[in-house]
Structure 1
């Protein structure tokens, strides 16, 4: 038998005898439904990772908090039930108030680009990473859809309309700010909003951006909303179990990081267009949109930034993050006077 034939036979035998290709599977949960704008963007994120990795990384995405409640996704990833959490840091303020300032810096930045610039160029990433690592997680990045719109069964023309207004609120700083303004915030899971509005348990909701709220069907029930938003701009995060993340190859980590940065940009750009389109359609459908005056917006920002100080005193990590934001916001001219 010729040497080349022997070598070819040996190579084929080695392939047959080798173990099957082992792909890396990451189990990820998001609170967004797949039909919302954010859900579709998350789907593209999954496709980007799987395509760029050539199938080396597979993402098993669980939408609409289908494995655990939204607020439990972080712990589920840290404990190995999931691998990664695609909700947001503001849901974890019960662990450490500092999470408020990597989740929803209320009354802070005006645009997603400003907020992302703090993370990548304002010292935010290192400060945030220390907090995440303390709880066994690795922050990969943010995807920010812009200012949220409050949805309501009643008019929301300004601060006076908040008096006695019962609304769904995420946990954390927001409940304090709005309670001080006379509203009645009720903390509930993201997935419970539609039913609570439908049954009249709440008058309104702080859920998401305008286009996402349309995808959730909120304006089939209520006919009032704030737009453009001003009060809240959550940093939805992609965060993974640190052991799982450290176990990925540098190439796999780079692929995920690159896909995340694409998701960040595409989320901001997509929602600029999607929110404008949603606003035009909602007006045509009889939904009233309220654009608060500059004075009312300034009053909210001043109240929110004053409330930061109470939270900054809760833990050293919160103090550090508040100081970091204030220094960067001062550079941008966004600190309340």
Structure 2
């Protein structure tokens, strides 16, 4: 009887030892989203998920609206130990290595977030991207992708031909090169200048965000045309942590963070798909015309995008490697020849 009790006690102790986490950790993470933004609210839920699943062994201090350093400086702040992790996006780091363009927004590549997630998890994308991040002493944990962005316009944008001469607000980088190739006139300007530029006619349209977010910005109070679903841009945000910090976590702690992030990622895509569909119905009822580009025009845009891809792929060995990984997977999906 005593032996049996001893064995039960020993077994319970062994079970506790195998399930116990390592020393408690506190992570400081910055995002560019505000607390009231839908993604900001979902990030707060992710923090709660991690803390709850870890039994409080992992605590997270989330800094919203880039409150510690500028958005573009978040990655460096994590590298240098000011923060532990960066919850912004890889596209902000093309100055470090052009390859970050292909983990931030390949432009004109995938049609849906699910295809793009699939490249990361099942198309060797994670390994290809991880090499890029590790070279900066960072670890890529995962992505969050809210879906295709929509172009907003004061004139019809029915397809490929309507882009010729079309003046629009564009973010810097690869996008300007692609649209110039198609005959459009991209104008790089700050996000905050879009509304006034549309009102005064400086620009005909804007690449700002997804349809629902554009509604929130009030763009369709001014312009009455938009592309939907989008086709040209589908940016991915990331969670990336200082490699030394990440390696210092236990296997269980890393698994909890990764699993909770995958839940967040897919819920962001799902919630935005619903929000965009609701926004589309509302806008059409209010007289805004939405344009779903034909397969032929989408193919024409993707062909022009590949000219820019090829150029960016020559800018660093890592850029070429990640681009080839994307192209192999896009071919497998039948999206490029």
2:69 corresponds in structure 1 to 68
Alpha-carbon contact 1:64-1:191 (below 8 Å) kept: no
Task: Show the counterpart of 2:307.
Answer: 306
> Aligned pair 1:285/2:286, yes or no?
yes
- Residue in structure 2 matched with residue 54 of structure 1 by the alignment: 55
Classify 1:331/1:310 alpha carbon distance in 2 versus 1 (closer, same or farther; 3 Å).
same
State whether structure 2 residue 38 is matched by structure 1 residue 32: no
SS at match of 2:156: coil
Aligned pairs for 1:4-19 (under 5 A) are: none
Secondary structure of the residue aligned to 1:138 is strand
Inter-CA distance 244–168: structure 2 relative to 1 (3 Å threshold): farther
CA distance in 2 between counterparts of 1:59 and 1:192 reads 34
Q: Mark the CA change 1:28 to 1:165 in structure 2 (over 3 Å): closer, same or farther.
A: farther
Unmatched tracts of structure 2, length 5 or more: 1-22
TM-fit CA distance, 1:159: 2.9
Give me the whole-angstrom Cα distance separating, in 2, the residues matched to 1:76 and 1:194. 32
Q: Which stretch of structure 1 is more off in the superposition, 92-101 or 68-77?
A: 68-77
Distance in 2, Cα, partners of 1:177 & 1:48: 40
The answer as to whether partners of 1:93 and 1:171 remain within 8 angstroms in 2 is no
Give a deviation string over 1:16-51, Cα, whole Å, max 9, x none: xxxxxx953323222233333323322222221222
Answer yes or no: is the 8 Å Cα contact 1:31–1:190 preserved in 2: no
Deviations 1:53-104 (A, max 9, x none): 2233233223333333332222222223332222221221122111111111
Partner of 2:207: 206
Counterpart of 2:9 in structure 1 is none
SS of residue in 2 equivalent to 1:110: coil
Q: Counterpart in 2 of 1:168?
A: 169
Offset at residue 292 of structure 1 (A): 1.7
- With over 3 angstroms needed to count, the CA separation of the structure-2 counterparts of 1:99 and 1:262, relative to structure 1, is same
CA deviation digits over 1:3-24, x for unaligned, max 9? xxxxxxxxxxxxxxxxxxx953
CA RMSD of aligned residues (A): 2.4
Distance in 1, matches of 2:204 and 2:118, equals 35
1:104-143 CA distance string (max 9 Å, x none): 1212112211111111111111110110111121100011
TM-aligned CA deviation for residue 286 of structure 1: 3.1
- Quote how far apart the aligned CAs of 1:273 are: 1.5
In the TM superposition, what whole-angstrom CA distance separates every residue of 1:272-326 from its partner, at most 9, and x where no partner exists? 2221111111222333222222221111011112321111111111111111111
With over 3 angstroms needed to count, the CA separation of the structure-2 counterparts of 1:133 and 1:69, relative to structure 1, is same
Cα displacement (A) at 1:192: 5.9
Count of residue pairs the alignment pairs up:
315
CA shift in 2, pair 1:57/1:102, >3 Å = same
Distance in 1 of aligned mates of 2:69 and 2:196: 18
**1:40 and 1:216 mapped to 2: Cα distance?**
18
Please give the alpha-carbon distance, in whole angstroms, between the structure 1 residues aligned to 2:198 and 2:53: 41
Kept after mapping to 2: 8 A contact 1:112/1:146: yes
Give the gaps of 5 or more residues in structure 1.
Answer: 1-21
User: 8 Å contact 1:91–1:170 — kept in the other structure?
Assistant: no
Task: Confirm whether residue 233 of structure 1 aligns to residue 234 of structure 2.
Answer: yes
In 2: Cα distance, 1:166 partner to 1:42 partner: 35
**CA distance in structure 2 between the aligned counterparts of 1:26 and 1:186, rounded to whole angstroms:** 39
Partner of 1:151: 152
Q: Distance in 1 between matches of 2:196 and 2:56?
A: 39
C-alpha distance 152-55 of structure 1, shift in aligned 2 (>3 A): farther
Runs (4+) of structure 1 exceeding 6 A deviation are: none
* Aligned mates of 1:219, 1:128 — CA distance in 2: 37
CA distance in structure 2 between the partners assigned to 1:29 and 1:216 by the alignment: 23
Task: Give the TM-score normalised by structure 2.
Answer: 0.84
CA offsets, 1:252-278, max 9 Å, x none? Answer: 211110111111221222222221111
Specify the SS of the correspondent of 1:109: coil
Q: What secondary structure does 1:41 align onto?
A: helix
> How many angstroms apart in 2 are the aligned matches of 1:272 and 1:34?
21
Q: Give TM-score, length-normalised by structure 1.
A: 0.84
| Structure 1 residue 237, shift from structure 2 partner | 0.9
Shift of 1:151: 2.3
Distance in 2 (alpha carbons) for counterparts of 1:254 and 1:307: 37
